[in-house]
Amino acid sequence: MLCAIRAAASRSSVRAFSTTSSRAADLAKLTLIGYLARDPETRHTKNEREYVVYTVATKNYPPPPPDANGDRPPSTATFHRVLSFQEASNRYLQTLKKGSRVYVEAGFELREPEPNTDPTTPQGQRQIFLRHETVRVLSKPRVEPEVEE
């Protein structure tokens, strides 16, 4: 009996998957595992809507290839600025501290430069926007013991 149920469930999942439109699943998402570079900061839009900005630092791995002398330069870090407009998430984000190791999922949006603008200004450059979706704390920041003198 279990074999019949398992076979029926297997057929239905394959069939359901094959009828899904590929256009319904367009997605641009970035997954980060790194450390908070600073405490999350609350800001306001021009329309006085509150949002939270936080920065996640990730280490670039593997490190760059060895140079002519065989020395390998150290890995570098990349800093990702994430914006959150979700009220419930904002309250939680404000409790996080610099140095927390986090897992973040964010929507990825690429904005092209505005025409006829100076390329040295932000409006004249391609901009990447990361919109917060989820965050999980993997570990809290290390607390250095206080040394009494």
Q: What confidence tens digit (pLDDT) does each residue in 135-146 have?
A: 999 999 987 766
In a domain, 148, yes or no: no
C-alpha to C-alpha distance for 53 and 148, rounded to whole angstroms: 36
CA 88 to CA 149: how far, in whole Å? 43
C-alpha span between 54 and 37 (Å, rounded): 8
pLDDT digits (tens, 9 = 90+) for 46-70: 999 999 999 999 998 777 788 888 8
- The mean pLDDT value of the chain amounts to 84
Of 22-31, 45-54, 98-107, the poorest mean pLDDT is in 22-31
pLDDT exceeds 70 at position 36? yes
Query: CA–CA separation, 101 vs 78, rounded Å?
Result: 15
CATH number at residue 81: 2.40.50.140
User: What is the structure's pLDDT at 55?
Assistant: 97
Q: What is the total count of domains within the chain?
A: 1
User: Does residue 126 sit in helix, strand or coil?
Assistant: coil
* pLDDT on residue 80: 96
* Entry pTM: 0.70
| Block residue for tokens 């290839």 | 65
Instruction: Give me the residue label for tokens 């980060």.
Output: 32
Which of these ranges, 3-12, 38-47, 124-133, has the smallest mean pLDDT? 3-12
Residue 77: domain span:
26-139
In a domain, 21, yes or no: no
The gap from C-alpha 78 to its chain's centroid, in whole angstroms, comes to: 12
